[in-house]
Every structure is written in C-alpha cells, then in structure tokens.
Amino acid sequence: MSQFKIATKCVQSGYSPKNGEPRVLPIAQSTTYKYDSSVQMAKLFDLEEDGFFYTRLANPTVDAVEKKIADLEGGVMAILTSSGQAASMYSVLNVCKAGDHLISSSAIYGGTFNLFNKTLRDMGLEIDFCDPDAPAEEINKLFKDNTKCVFTEMLSNPALTVLDLEKWAEAAHSHGVPLIVDNTFPTAINCRPIEFGADVVVHSTSKYMDGHACALGGVVVDSGKFDWKNGKFPMFTQPDETYHGVVYADHFGPAAYGAKIRVHLMRDMGAMMAPQNAFLLNLGLETLHLRMPRHCENAQAVAEFLANDERVAWVNFPGLPGNKYYELAQKYMPNGTCGVVSFGVKGGREAATKFMDSLHLAAIVTHVADARTCVLHPASTTHRQLNDRELEECGVSPDLIRFSVGIEDVSDIIADLDQALSAATAK
Ligand SMILES: *Cc1c(COP(=O)(O)O)cnc(C)c1O
C-alpha cells in the first residue's frame, strides 16, 4: 500500500481479504499449521519456502499487523514482539554478542537503560552511554573496532529530549555501523526516522500505537538500507549452520536484518506477540492518525496553560517556543511531538504529591501515552530507589510530574489541573 498516504495505511495496510473472506483481520488462534506433505514442511524449515509453521516464528494475524507497521515506517520488514523491552533487546542482540561494543544515548527509557547497563553488561557486552546533545566530535571518539551499533531514542521518556537524528546517523554510518532509533513517543504519524537515516526503528507498541492501554507489545522495523556486507558483520555474511549454511545477506537481500531476528532470535528466544494482542494493536493502529494530532493539540494547550501559571515552577514540552528542543522538534516532528508534558509544581516534592492526589480526571498510573489522561511522579514511584542527586543525573528532578495528556475535551483536563494546582499550593 506504499502509494497511499499514511492515514490510509493506518486503516487499510497489511490485510486485504479475498472474495468472501472476513472484512476484519481474523485472529488466527492457532499455534500450528497443516501441510499436505512432509517434503513441503521440510522446505519451510530450510527457509526455502515462505509459509507459517509455528506461531513462535510467524502467525497470519501477527504477520498482517507487521506488514502494516513496516508500511507506516517505510521499512522492508517488521517483527512484532511480546513487549517493547523485547524489541529493544532483539534490535541489539541481532548484531552484538559477548565482547562487542554498543554506544547508547543516555536519554533513553529507564527500562532500556537497565537492559543495557545491567543485563547486557552481565552477558558480556560493552556499553558506552553518551549525552544525545554531545557534539559530533565527542560521539565519534566513542567508536571502537568492536562497536556494532548505536542505540538512541527519538523523543525520550520521560525527559522529552529530542534526538538530532541526522547527527547520530552520520556518526554511526561514518563508522560502518547501524543506527537504531526508539520511535515510541512520536510514532510513525509524527516522525519517520528512516527518512532521516535510521537503519532500524523500534517501538513499544504498548503506548500510542495500541493507544488504549490494553495490549503490551513491541516491534522492530528493518529499513532495508544498511550494507551488512561492509566487513563488520560476519553474522550476515557467513553461513548459519543451524539453517544448513544459509547466508542471511545473500538469501534475504535487503531484509537480512529483519529476517535474522525472526528465524534466529525468535526461534531461539521466542518473545513473540500473541495473535490476540496483534488484533488489539491493529484496532489501535486504525485510529492512530486521528488520535496523535488530538494528543498533540491537547498537550500544546496544557503546556501553554502551565507555562502561564504562577503556581507552576517550570514546564518542559518541545512544542513550546523557547524550549531547548523546539527547533529540533520543528525539524523532525513538524506536525507535533506527543501528548506528554512534564512540569514542576512550586513547593517541590511535597507539593507534587499533593497535586497528584488532588486530581480527579487524570489517573495516577505507571502507564503513559494512551487515550485517557494520566499522571506519574517518577521520584516517588518508578525512580524511588534514587536519591535527589542521582535523580538530577538522569534528568528527573524530584518535583518532576509526567503528565500524559489524553484525547478527552481539553477544557476538562485543564480544569482538573487548575483545581489540583490550587489544592497543592494552598497555604
Ligand atoms: C514503555 C517504553 C519501552 C518499553 O516498552 P514495554 O512495552 O513496556 O516493554 C521502551 N521504550 C520507550 C520509549 C517506552 O516508553
């Protein structure tokens, strides 16, 4: 469906029923698939033919939603995973093994940070974190002979740092390694990183893509643009004995990276998305192009309200002129960034707690980026193990409130904020 506009792709890509078939994407609730001969099945196992044989590797419902997302991002292939965490892990483990080196932006989701800093280090990978705003010369100094990829986040959760994608893509490419971009917060509606040089895009689909907070999921999208034959990636150019010597870069051409995630990592580690969740995700995707502009519009109004309110200490939203990332946001996300606004209430940590407890419409939840307005105080929840100094180091001040603006009527959201601010700052 690549000739269509993105709104049409949201609604229609990935599934086109033939005569008499269900109009709505059916849920193929089956782990397994029937074949007429064992020869035919053997061909599937040898990767000589395409087809479904076990839902850990591929399933018709999951397959349709993968095709839609690949189309939305402008990639050649997408692989849905059980969560965003699994997607980030696969994106890196597809090119890195023990002894290899990974460079990561330091402005990334906390779960990704732990995955890299703890689990992947324990598995023998070397990691260097780098401030995403660092000048190119500083980023370039981090590359080593064993560097295999660079990981970044387009619009970071919760710090709302906007990535200078072209700067990072140039650094990665001049060292012959791919750039991976977590595009969860903007979604493909507001930003398509592949158009600016990303080689791999990952998402937590649990956020705006699902949009209703009902199905956990992740996705890895292969742009099909990276040259895996540049001499640094033997896993793509040398035979894989577990598939009778297939050479991924030859056998799968531009989709080598995506294909290897499916047939190698998914086969061995199995963090597949369930067909039921793919169905729910698809329902969300059918309205993504309607929801994202509304999230952005509501968040812009909320950010402007907060910025003009004397009970508020500070506001961080890349759509506010004067924000540190305003220009980068205009460049990479001209139609809007996302619905998340962070701010501090005068009176610090104590006022923040009082403010949160006084909200009626906005619910206190860990989740972020769905249709219902919700709020989180990281210092007392997700980041509560850290002391104030450690909090500052990871860009989360003790008074930071992460406010995820939903798609309700914005005047109701602002009225709720207004009364909670009064309650929190009352003498
Ligand atoms: C939530 C999130 C993840 C992790 O996704 P899960 O689906 O919760 O595993 C990764 N990256 C970003 C930016 C996120 O917001």
Q: How many domains in the chain? A: 2
Please give the residue range of the domain that contains residue 246.
7-284
CB 225 within 8 A of CB 180: no
**Alpha-carbon gap, residue 53 to 35, rounded angstroms:** 9
- CB distance 184 to ligand 1 below 6 Å: yes
Q: Measured in angstroms, how far is the CA atom of residue 230 from the centroid of ligand 1?
A: 31
**Alpha-carbon gap, residue 72 to 194, rounded angstroms:** 11
Q: What string of DSSP letters covers 143-191? A: --TTEEEEEEESB-TTT-PBP-HHHHHHHHHHTT-PEEEE-TTTHHHH-
Terminal alpha carbon distance of the chain: 59
DSSP state of 115: I
- Whether residues 317 and 258 fall in one domain: no
Q: Which of 255, 284, 313 is the last residue of a domain?
A: 284
CB 306 within 8 A of CB 413: no
Q: Measured in angstroms, how far is the CA atom of residue 208 from the centroid of ligand 1?
A: 11
**For residue 86, which atom of ligand 1 is closest to its CA?**
9
Q: Measured in angstroms, how far is the CA atom of residue 85 from the centroid of ligand 1?
A: 6
- CB distance 112 to ligand 1 below 6 Å: yes
- Whether residues 73 and 24 fall in one domain: yes
- Whether residues 133 and 250 fall in one domain: yes
Q: Measured in angstroms, how far is the CA atom of residue 111 from the centroid of ligand 1?
A: 7
CATH number of domain containing 275 = 3.40.640.10
CATH number of domain containing 399 = 3.90.1150.10
**2 lies in some domain:** no
Q: Which of 284, 317, 332 is the last residue of a domain?
A: 284
Of 23, 302, 301, 295, the C-alpha closest to 186 is 295
- Whether residues 49 and 86 fall in one domain: yes
pLDDT in tens, the chain (427 residues): 678 999 999 999 999 999 999 999 999 999 999 999 988 888 888 888 888 989 999 999 999 999 999 999 999 999 999 999 999 999 999 999 999 999 999 999 989 999 999 999 999 999 999 999 999 999 999 999 999 999 999 999 888 999 999 999 999 999 999 999 999 999 999 999 999 999 999 999 999 999 999 999 999 999 999 999 999 999 999 999 998 899 999 999 999 999 999 999 999 999 999 999 999 999 999 999 999 999 999 999 999 999 999 999 999 999 999 999 999 999 999 999 999 999 999 998 889 989 999 999 999 998 899 999 999 988 888 777 777 777 776 677 888 999 999 999 999 999 999 999 999 988 7
Q: Which of 284, 310, 337 is the last residue of a domain?
A: 284
Residues 6+ apart with CB under 8 A from 39: none
- Whether residues 273 and 327 fall in one domain: no
